[in-house]
């Protein structure tokens, strides 16, 4: 309950309440976009400054390897499970959504750890960046295979994307290029590189921007996310109760599996917490945008509504405190053995 008293979290709760009350409170899209870019830039700088201080270590390599492995395993296992409940294209889209990551969930988790004095590595920002694209690529590969079996190809024209014959598939190269050169992704990595190069001097110079303003900007952005989350809930009416349960149970399962891996690999508790948060999160920006073009056969109301309407609020309100408490309890105990 103490975590709910954080101002940023309370602004998220307020946004959800305002959205459910059908208030006309709204954050202009341009401002929302700016806030998103600011948070990614500030996070990248913080990560770069921290990495410049700690240097490259064996744990950095181990953590990044775990991150990439999770980014491949989670969507593959998710697809195998989900195709038993929904159509194959919907299963691929949902697997990509839950196999990728939510930057805002990650940023909120880093703030949660900082407030409580829990340490974590600056390289975790790079881990987040590495975990975004693999799920999208895997989903497109699966969708292309499904179309080849059905003798269908997806063709993009001047007005959108539609399906037609004969067999084929959407270019993986195009999807990979767009994933790796996405503006938000590049900003995060570029800011991290700048932080790494400038070190302590850069940290002191950017403190008013990347430090002092961060909490307020995060609160403002979470207000917008609360409004959006409330507006996605009506899209889930009529959905299978099993799928609604998946939106909560899958994050917990992903976090639990990640904790086991981190325990076996000796990952530090703060880094393990953030890996758990990343594995438990679901993308509601990058993946839905890519899937609208790459897998038009899938239902956006399903994968977007589940990720933003259920999983995101769950992680923000309950998941982050849960993962943090369990990781620090289990890993601290494990280190004593």
**Does some domain include residue 232?**
yes
Residues 6+ apart with CB under 8 A from 311: 98, 247, 248, 250, 251, 281, 282
Give the confidence band of 88 by pLDDT, cuts at 50, 70, 90.
very high
* Domain hosting residue 63, numbered range: 37-331
Does residue 153 surpass a pLDDT of 80? no
CA separation, residue 46 to residues 51, 69, 83, 196 (Å): 9, 25, 40, 9
**Does some domain include residue 192?**
yes
104 and 39 Cβ atoms separated by less than 8 Å: yes
CATH of the domain at 47: 1.20.1530
For 296-324, b where at least 16 C-beta lie within 10 A, e where not — what string? bbbbebbbbbbbbbbbbbbbbbebbbbbb
Q: Residues 296-337: pLDDT tens digits?
A: 888 888 898 899 999 999 999 999 999 999 999 998 765 544
**Does some domain include residue 16?**
no
**Does some domain include residue 7?**
no
CA 33, chain centre distance (Å): 16
**Does some domain include residue 9?**
no
Residue in the structure block whose two tokens are 């508790």: 269
pLDDT the model gives residue 248 = 95
pLDDT the model gives residue 2 = 53
**Overall average pLDDT of the 121-142 stretch:** 88
**Overall average pLDDT of the 238-251 stretch:** 90
28 vs 132, residue with greater confidence = 28
175 vs 169, residue with greater confidence = 175
**Overall average pLDDT of the 51-71 stretch:** 87
Residue in the structure block whose two tokens are 């950017």: 206
- Looking at the structure of the chain, the number of domains it has is 1
Does residue 28 surpass a pLDDT of 80? yes
- Tell me the sheet residues that pair with 153: 164
**Does some domain include residue 2?**
no
**Does some domain include residue 233?**
yes
**Does some domain include residue 8?**
no
Q: Lowest-confidence range among 24-38, 138-152, 239-253, 267-281?
A: 138-152
pLDDT the model gives residue 180 = 60
């Amino acid at each position: 309950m103490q975590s709910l008293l954080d101002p940023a979290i309370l602004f998220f709760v307020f946004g959800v309440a305002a959205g459910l009350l059908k208030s006309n409170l709204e954050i202009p899209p341009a401002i929302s976009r700016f806030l998103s870019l600011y948070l990614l830039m500030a996070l990248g700088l913080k990560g770069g400054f921290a990495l410049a201080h700690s240097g490259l270590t064996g744990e950095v390599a181990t953590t990044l390897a775990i991150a990439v492995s999770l980014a491949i395993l989670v969507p593959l296992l998710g697809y195998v499970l989900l195709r038993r409940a929904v159509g194959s294209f919907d299963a691929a889209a949902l697997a990509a959504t839950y196999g990728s990551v939510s930057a805002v969930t990650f940023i909120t988790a880093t703030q949660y750890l900082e407030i409580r004095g829990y340490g974590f590595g600056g390289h975790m920002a790079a881990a987040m960046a590495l975990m975004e694209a693999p799920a999208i690529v895997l989903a497109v590969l699966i969708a292309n295979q499904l179309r080849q079996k059905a003798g269908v190809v997806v063709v993009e024209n001047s007005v959108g994307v539609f399906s037609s014959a004969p067999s084929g598939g959407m270019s993986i190269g195009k999807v990979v290029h767009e994933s790796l050169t996405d503006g938000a992704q590049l900003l995060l990595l570029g800011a991290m590189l700048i932080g790494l190069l400038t070190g302590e001097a850069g940290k002191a110079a950017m403190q008013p921007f990347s430090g002092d303003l961060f909490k307020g900007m995060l609160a403002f952005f979470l207000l917008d996310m609360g409004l959006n989350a409330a507006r996605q809930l009506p899209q889930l009416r009529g959905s299978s109760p099993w799928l609604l349960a998946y939106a909560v149970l899958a994050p917990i399962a992903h976090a639990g599996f990640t904790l086991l891996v981190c325990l076996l690999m000796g990952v530090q508790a703060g880094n393990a917490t953030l890996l758990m948060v990343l594995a438990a999160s679901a993308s509601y920006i990058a993946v839905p945008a890519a899937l609208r073009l790459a897998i038009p056969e899938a239902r956006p109301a399903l994968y977007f509504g589940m990720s933003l309407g259920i999983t995101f609020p769950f992680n923000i309100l309950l998941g982050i405190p849960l993962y943090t408490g369990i990781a620090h309890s289990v890993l601290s105990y494990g280190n004593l053995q």
